[in-house]
Structure 1
Amino acid sequence: MNTRKKSAGWGGFAFFWRRLERYRVSLFVIAIFHYPAFLLRS
């Protein structure tokens, strides 16, 4: 019972990490495009 609960928790963590990774990649691409503009502004 305890192992099953832990397994379900890991499944949720994997799902959350997958969504976070996709979001992180998009943020990384946005940062790449905005960083030069930020340097030129300052």
Structure 2
Amino acid sequence: GDPEALGDRYWEGLDADNRVALAVKRIPASGGPAEIFLWNRLAGS
């Protein structure tokens, strides 16, 4: 699936007062480079 959509779903599911950071790592089955997607409550501040 889409790692950004998955991360968004988990991020929104967390209690807003307890959100600090979230990381989702995508590892392709084809052996390509991995990607890490980050959410942080301080981002955009």
| TM-score strictly above 0.5 | no
**What's the TM-score bracket when you normalise by the shorter of the two chains?**
0.3 to 0.5
Give 1 or 2 for the bigger CA radius of gyration.
1
Larger relative helix fraction: 1
Larger relative strand fraction: 2
